[in-house]
Structure 1
Amino acid sequence: MTLKRISTLSFLLSLISIINFSAFSQKSGDYKITGKIIDDELRVPLEYATISVINVNDPKDLTGGVTNAEGEFSIDVDSGNYNIVVEFISYETKEFNNQTLKGDLNLGTITLGLGAESLDEVVVRAETTQVDVRLDKKIYNIGKDLTTAGGTVSDALNNVPSVTVDIDGAISLRGNGNVKILINGKPSAMAGFGDTNVLNQLPAEAIERVEVITSPSARYDAEGTAGILNIILRQKETLGFNGSLNATIGTPVNAGLTANLNYRTEKFNLFTTTGYRYFKAPGGGFFDTRYFESSQVPYDRIYEDRDIDRINRNFNTNFGMEYFLTKKSSLTGSIFYRWGQDEDVTTNDSDYYQNGSRVINSIRKENEQEDDNSWQFALNYINNFNNKGHKLTADFQVESDKETQLTEINENTPINLTDNPFFNQDEMINQKEDQTEYLLQADYVLPFNEDSQFEAGFRGNWENEVTDYNLFSEDLNTGQFIANDTLSNVFDYDENVMAVYTQYGTKFGNLSFLLGLRLENTQLKGKIDSELTDAELADAFGIPIDTDFDRNYLGLFPTINLIYELAEEENITLGYNRRINRPRGWFINPFPSRSSNNNIFQGNPSLNPAYSNAFDLGYLKRWEKLTLTSSIYYQHETNSFERIERNVAGSNIVRTIPVNLSSNDRTGAELGLLYNPADWLRLNGSFNYFKFKTEGEFDGTSYNAENSSYFARFSSKVSLPLKIDWQTNAFYGGASEGVQGTQEGIFSLDVALSKEILNDNATISINGRDIFNSRKRRSYTLTDTYERDSEFQWRQGQNISLSLIYRFNQQKQRQQKRGEDNEDFDEGGFGG
């Protein structure tokens, strides 16, 4: 039972007691019974504890009261003989029998201990993922997901319905990769400046719940045409010192240690999550490209076998303090720091064919060393003007990330049967990336009554990214390295967003709605410092390149969210929203990757934002042991991004470039089931089907495509004797077809076993991910000049880990002195 439920239940019991006391005794009384009630261990007052005063000679003569915020009470009674009963939910009951009152009675300070019979009720036991539907979101409490024990945030997200994490670490929502990732409701350095691979470095144990926001209200940034994933990290509400330690070891080499610590008093709350992880993640794949005769390239086929060896060392810590200025206001400051030291060795073993015969074998090795230092300072102010939801919040954040990459590339040719020399030119790359981001945000909430609420706010987000890229190529005559002026550059990129919003929500009977409007201005500004002119850059990279641009986009983003309660456990939701997809820096930067001679990715500085209009109709029904969630949705996106592959004329080089196509329509339906047929068995399944249609052309070539796909997941958790749990998670992503080819389906299976030990204070678990080694992306690409089969796997082989989580002082969740505030309207205050 959570603290909030304890608080609510206590209040309701107290309210019932007051009503009963009022019904049976309305007299003022001759004398007073006074006292104070506190927790016997933490020595804090217990608010809403009930005191019953019963006449021994006439039990129907009943009066009583409840304690105030200081744990104090005062009850008026007549003279007589009374039994006095002191109660508080989940605590022991104390009785003072046969008290004869001939004057005022002061019972002094009464201490209550947690009742042994109630201990299990107040232990937080989120055994399985649960879902709660709100006006604009679905909330999934991660629970004890065994398959993520010792895993990362990415592993946990991959078990959330509607969400998929592909083998590259990219996150999709309902098959759409344009997802905005928030941490505790705000952009964060923990999410890696938009690089979701950083989520592979954060422990899954840190997550409390995930909010899947497919129809975001006007409060949220308009970024993310697919929607928003808001990751809420654990924050302990227990008074005193408590926390957990999580140690993991596994194969391929994977070792980590994470500590979640919390110290809470009546005046402040100190918290930290600190962890270190070392792991190896071997990966790789192949590219088999076959060129048509019309392409007129030197080689008619190139087969490239790629192996990647990764070593990652990551340390991250988040430390903060919440200081309670008053009973209604608090100030929270936190500092997050991440250090990373990675080493990636990529080997490309390439065979070149002429007329079906191999004529060249080339081995290209790239050794990349990367140091990463990120930090974030955040300040949050909350002022609850009352307990009815009237409040003001303000946030300030500053983030900085510095990456240094040193890369050595060497290539040799063991086999060359052609008359033409194959130049084995070594390269060295020195790249520095500096990113800085500022956030300023304020939100004001004003309830008019229990069923209506107004909200308004401002948000400014200023982000700068400077990439200093220096390429040195070997002089084949002297062996010395000289600067390559064609590719060396400095790219200075700004993304600045300023917005104001307002929204109003109310409830009429069983219908609740939330209407919002957001005005947002986006500035995309970039400058490329290169030795080449714009014309020379366009010649070198095959697309027009603007080396100095400043574009502004002002737009209105309306949102509508409705929920109709058919019954207490049954509702229908309807949502509409307009969203924007802003191109990230690496999609803008035109200077290509260097891992392969033949397959390169380069950004497009001419990219403009994409816009979408989306509709979502949902239905939820709860039975005693079954929860059903379902929805159908439609999205129309204009100026949508697509990655286009094409080879350089007369060359075997294949470039992948993101471009704006005209439109993308996506229609789909999803179904989710949570079924607990018995105390020892919990089942969780979801299915998502979607159809998409893309229309548009680029450079005179049409890229119209229409296809459908789906993905499904199933999870079962079985509680065995001896406090052993067994969990199985299965996932299958169906085949799909894009504008230039197809992708095969992907299946993966994870299993885990866990056992509670040390009086349930610790859990030991063994976890096997992708036990069939089947999580591979296999695709086929077809263009006017070539066809290609490819396969890629981010992490090769099965991953097995052993994890131990030890918890201390977490078994007793005490009632907070401070009352729980009402939730915001768009946080679900009116139904769901």
Structure 2
Amino acid sequence: MKPLIKSGLLGVVLFFNVLIVSAQTGPVSYSIKGIIVDSASAKALEYVTVSLKSSDNKPLKSALTDGKGVFNFSKIAAGKYTITVISVGHSSKSIPVNIAVGSDRPETNLGTIVLSAKHNQLKEVSVTAERPIIQQEVDRISYDLQADPESKVNNVLDMMRKVPLLSLDADDNIKLQGNSNYKILINGKPSSMVAKNPKDVLRSMPASSIQKIEVITTPPAKYDSEGIAGIINIITTKKVDNGYNGSLNVGGRFPVGGPRVGGNYTVKQGKFGASGYGGFGTYSQPQTSYFSNRVSTGTNPRSLSQNGLREFDNRFVYVGTEFSFEIDTLNLITAEIGFNNGNYDSKGSQMSQTFSQNSIVEGYTLNNNSENNWKGIDLALNYQLGFKGKKDRMLTFSYRYSNSDDKTFDQLGVSDRINYNTPDYHQHNKSGSGEQTIQADYVHPFKKLTLEAGVKAILRDNNSDFRYDSLNTEGLFATDPRRTNTFDNNQDVIGAYNSYQYNLKNWGFKAGVRIEETLIKANFISTDSDLKKDYFNIIPTISINRKFKDMSSLNFGFTQRIQRPSIWNLNPFVDRSNPNFESTGNPDLRPVLSNDIRLSYSKFKKGSFNIGLNYSFSNNTIQQISVYDNSRGVTFTSYDNIGKDKSLGSNFNINYPITKKWDFNISGNMNYVWIKGVINGFNVSNDGFRGYFYGGTGYKFEKGWRVNANFSYSSPYITLQGQGNSYYYTSLSVNKEVIKDKLTFSASTNNPFAKYREYINETTGADFTQSSNYRNYFRSYSLSLNYRFGKLEGSIKKNKRGIKNDDVSGGKSNQGE
């Protein structure tokens, strides 16, 4: 391994030498210059973005004006160009420029270019650049992946490390300000693709197929009220213009990971248009080790030690497409279809020993072969009616159907027995979720006021059928009825909302209210028992934006959010794949109401600066709890509404261009959390800091070369009964534009200084303490090619309103992956 590392480091050094040598360009004979001034004050405008585009509207160069408002493009070839001037708070301006072949004027002086101020309230404040990476709106922050060169080599999960307010824990689970209670949407709509385990999907999806990621911290009333921490909205690339275009990304990661292929397309012909995305990928990990221990006290003190080996292979396929037909200028029909399929196979062996007073009282070796297969489908149909004389006034009717199935089969064999009599056994669990949504939305704009209203019905059917088969004396596997059950859960949500947005010159207001009735019915078919519950909630939301003259703004937001348990939390299937540690869901869980207050300040000039404060609190939160059963020697883990949470914290993001070629950005968040609960009659509490820091820098060389370096750190994650460990992440990537605006080659190395990552989790309860340590491959290398094709001219008309089911808590995570 040492010669391999040395060879790799030598290759990186030589590669960078090639970059530096190739960072040169030949002379070109013409230049374009000018001065940008404000129309009212006649003062020069500094840090205004000026772009040079070719005759077919392709961006060639960009520059920022200096302190005297001057910009200058040098080394320009003869031809036809367009100069585009963009400044926040001013109307943009485009100026055609024609440099004739053989012209005897080496310099084209455009003189003074006057920009007039906009008199309408801006709905968002953005970085002053042709392709701003960060955008701050009144209720959300968005990160433009297409403006980040690293999107050509990384997958979507890797890019989330750079998005403000988002982070990944030591097991690559996504956190929104350190919280796992959020909702993920694809193009503003729910998707079965990310319902179960989003990290598996997103790390198989190339970031080049994603336009931007929105973090909606104060969701307006039109969104369903689920997602305590907020909403993550992933918007796929859709250059919706006449003709066709698309991109294809081929890449791979090793030694952990595997090959992946992904892409997107857009087609438009007349009144018909279509756009979509899709791909497949693998994520495999060679054999690694893990160990865990537990010390129990009380009447029968014992200590447990487990050591094991495991490996897994994960494969995933996904595709989604949207069709649009414009009947006329006022009537529009769109339809969507999406499909996903995946499987996760793992193999492992584990040696377990239980000691009492330094003597072995029980021991065994467990071999586990596990198969997990899932699939999902999404269908949607939308009709949008416009009105004459009011282009933004519209009425939309929407229907959506979603279905997902999940099957798990575990084969467990026991050997090397010491006082252990449990026979070999199999576990089967078949679960699924079906969902139908009917929705109507109405938008009516007035002069400065926009009214939105709507009604919605979500009809869900969650089900689970699990079976435990034990090896009998005849050598056959027979079903154990005591550990077998069939479960059906119906969850219907009926809602209505009304919201208003009012804009003044320097102020923006967005407020609304949403009412929701939740009807829950659970049926334990095997035990012939029922559970019925109804909940009614009134959810207010308010966002205020104050814009200042120095291109800064102050935002305030307050909202209440609901966390409804998903099938992964409700499923009463008991996982006994590790006989000393059992886990299950709780069908008696109730929705949780959370209150969230936010205040943020943003400033955009040459760079961008964001800082925010937030405070949230909730009662009766769903907590994962672990209890030790002394009689069986088993830790039993489930969920219950026993928590009281409070969180006070801050977040920041700075994105700054040091020079025209060198930029850097840093971001992070720090929260102090207080968690309280009652477990088996005992008061339990925990508190501490949860935080995340990210730093990245990139340098753009000549001839299409770019180098990026990144670093992130995550603090320990606080839970009610313990905490996880801290960890850091580093990466280095290189991009080369082989064919301008067409073909890009990228290479990267992640965590070159650490082969493995330790995922440590510590838990303490009445009469026991336990910890687990999973070792995962950390160092990896990636290569990818990204190809863009096609040409577009006009735009596809799309529904401006549609179904957004964001009312269910986040998906399940696979521990220790």
Indicate the TM-score class for this superposition, using the shorter chain for normalisation.
0.7 to 0.9
Alignment of 1:40-59 (within 5 A): none
Match of 2:600 in 1: 618
Q: Distance in 2 between matches of 1:821 and 1:302?
A: 58
Match of 1:488 in 2: 484
Q: Distance in 2 between matches of 1:721 and 1:356?
A: 67
Match of 2:277 in 1: 273
Match of 1:511 in 2: 507
- Out of 606, 614, 631, the position equivalent to 1:633 is 614
Q: Distance in 2 between matches of 1:522 and 1:642?
A: 21
* Other structure's SS at 1:493 match: strand
Q: Which moved more, 1:644-653 or 1:125-134?
A: 125-134
Paired letter, 1:427: Y
Match of 2:371 in 1: 369
Whether 2:161 is the aligned partner of 1:158: answer: yes
* Other structure's SS at 1:661 match: strand
Give the conservation status (yes or no) of the 8 Å contact 1:766–1:801.
yes
- Out of 449, 452, 455, the position equivalent to 1:452 is 449
Displacement of 1:276 in angstroms is 2.1
Displacement of 1:474 in angstroms is 0.5
Which structure 2 residue ranges, 5 or more long, are not aligned? 1-38, 40-53, 58-92, 101-127, 805-817
- Out of 463, 484, 494, the position equivalent to 1:466 is 463
Displacement of 1:503 in angstroms is 0.7
Q: 1:225-273 CA deviation, whole Å, 9 max, x = no partner?
A: 1111111111122321211111112212511222312212331212232
Match of 1:136 in 2: 139
Q: Distance in 1 between matches of 2:156 and 2:135?
A: 20
Which structure 1 residue ranges, 5 or more long, are not aligned? 1-15, 17-38, 43-87, 96-124, 534-546, 827-832
- Out of 572, 583, 598, the position equivalent to 2:580 is 598
Match of 1:180 in 2: 183
Give the conservation status (yes or no) of the 8 Å contact 1:129–1:143.
no
Whether 2:790 is the aligned partner of 1:788: answer: no
Paired letter, 2:745: I
Displacement of 1:447 in angstroms is 0.8
Q: Distance in 2 between matches of 1:492 and 1:342?
A: 25
Computing the radius of gyration from Cα coordinates, the structure with the larger value is 1
- Out of 422, 431, 434, the position equivalent to 2:432 is 434
- Out of 218, 221, 227, the position equivalent to 2:221 is 218
Alignment of 1:539-550 (within 5 A): 547-550=529-532
Query: Percent identity at matched positions?
Result: 24
- Kindly tell me: are residues 94 and 814 of structure 1, through their superposed partners in 2, closer, same or farther at Cα, counting changes over 3 Å? farther
- Out of 668, 684, 704, the position equivalent to 1:703 is 684
Paired letter, 1:274: G
Alignment of 1:222-261 (within 5 A): 222-251=225-254, 252-261=256-265
- Kindly tell me: are residues 152 and 135 of structure 1, through their superposed partners in 2, closer, same or farther at Cα, counting changes over 3 Å? same
Give the conservation status (yes or no) of the 8 Å contact 2:722–2:761.
yes
Match of 1:527 in 2: 523
Paired letter, 2:568: W
Paired letter, 1:559: T
- Out of 438, 441, 444, the position equivalent to 1:443 is 441
Paired letter, 1:309: E
Give the conservation status (yes or no) of the 8 Å contact 2:145–2:208.
no
Displacement of 1:462 in angstroms is 1.5
- Kindly tell me: are residues 342 and 687 of structure 1, through their superposed partners in 2, closer, same or farther at Cα, counting changes over 3 Å? closer
Paired letter, 2:283: F
Paired letter, 2:505: G
Q: Distance in 2 between matches of 1:360 and 1:137?
A: 55
Alignment of 1:328-343 (within 5 A): 328-343=330-345
Displacement of 1:521 in angstroms is 1.1
Q: Distance in 2 between matches of 1:226 and 1:282?
A: 35
Q: Distance in 2 between matches of 1:496 and 1:671?
A: 39
Displacement of 1:644 in angstroms is 1.4
Give the conservation status (yes or no) of the 8 Å contact 1:667–1:690.
yes
Displacement of 1:289 in angstroms is 2.7
- Kindly tell me: are residues 282 and 652 of structure 1, through their superposed partners in 2, closer, same or farther at Cα, counting changes over 3 Å? farther
Q: Distance in 1 between matches of 2:397 and 2:584?
A: 39
Paired letter, 2:681: G
Displacement of 1:397 in angstroms is 1.1
Q: Distance in 2 between matches of 1:821 and 1:279?
A: 35
Match of 1:768 in 2: 749
Displacement of 1:134 in angstroms is 1.5
Give the conservation status (yes or no) of the 8 Å contact 1:192–1:198.
no
Q: Distance in 1 between matches of 2:220 and 2:736?
A: 42
Paired letter, 2:364: S
Q: Distance in 2 between matches of 1:643 and 1:672?
A: 32
Give the conservation status (yes or no) of the 8 Å contact 1:287–1:303.
yes
Give the conservation status (yes or no) of the 8 Å contact 1:147–1:769.
no
Displacement of 1:664 in angstroms is 0.8
Q: Distance in 2 between matches of 1:588 and 1:817?
A: 42
Q: Distance in 1 between matches of 2:790 and 2:722?
A: 55
Q: 1:385-414 CA deviation, whole Å, 9 max, x = no partner?
A: 35652122332211122233332111211x
Give the conservation status (yes or no) of the 8 Å contact 2:247–2:786.
yes
Q: Which moved more, 1:757-766 or 1:775-784?
A: 775-784
Alignment of 1:572-721 (within 5 A): 572-624=554-606, 626-721=607-702
Displacement of 1:554 in angstroms is 0.6
Match of 2:347 in 1: 345
* Other structure's SS at 2:208 match: helix
Give the conservation status (yes or no) of the 8 Å contact 2:201–2:316.
no
Q: Which moved more, 1:172-181 or 1:521-530?
A: 521-530
Superposition TM-score, scaled by structure 2 size: 0.79
Q: Distance in 2 between matches of 1:411 and 1:619?
A: 59
Give the conservation status (yes or no) of the 8 Å contact 1:456–1:502.
yes
Match of 1:746 in 2: 727
Q: Distance in 1 between matches of 2:554 and 2:801?
A: 21
Give the conservation status (yes or no) of the 8 Å contact 1:282–1:307.
no
- Kindly tell me: are residues 496 and 571 of structure 1, through their superposed partners in 2, closer, same or farther at Cα, counting changes over 3 Å? same
* Other structure's SS at 1:330 match: strand
Whether 2:705 is the aligned partner of 1:724: answer: yes
Q: Distance in 2 between matches of 1:258 and 1:194?
A: 19
- Which structure's relative contact order is higher, taking Cα pairs within 8 Å and 6+ residues apart? 2
Displacement of 1:454 in angstroms is 0.8
Paired positions, count: 686
* Other structure's SS at 2:328 match: coil
Give the conservation status (yes or no) of the 8 Å contact 1:773–1:796.
yes
- Out of 395, 401, 406, the position equivalent to 2:404 is 401
Match of 1:500 in 2: 496
Paired letter, 1:790: S
Match of 1:171 in 2: 174
- Kindly tell me: are residues 286 and 764 of structure 1, through their superposed partners in 2, closer, same or farther at Cα, counting changes over 3 Å? same
Paired letter, 1:433: S
Q: Distance in 1 between matches of 2:660 and 2:560?
A: 43
Q: Distance in 2 between matches of 1:570 and 1:468?
A: 55
Displacement of 1:331 in angstroms is 1.6
Q: Distance in 1 between matches of 2:545 and 2:740?
A: 44
Q: Which moved more, 1:626-635 or 1:194-203?
A: 194-203
Q: Distance in 1 between matches of 2:475 and 2:366?
A: 18
Q: 1:465-506 CA deviation, whole Å, 9 max, x = no partner?
A: 22111221011x322211111111111112221110001121
Displacement of 1:148 in angstroms is 4.9
Paired letter, 1:257: V
- Out of 284, 302, 305, the position equivalent to 2:304 is 302
Match of 2:328 in 1: 326
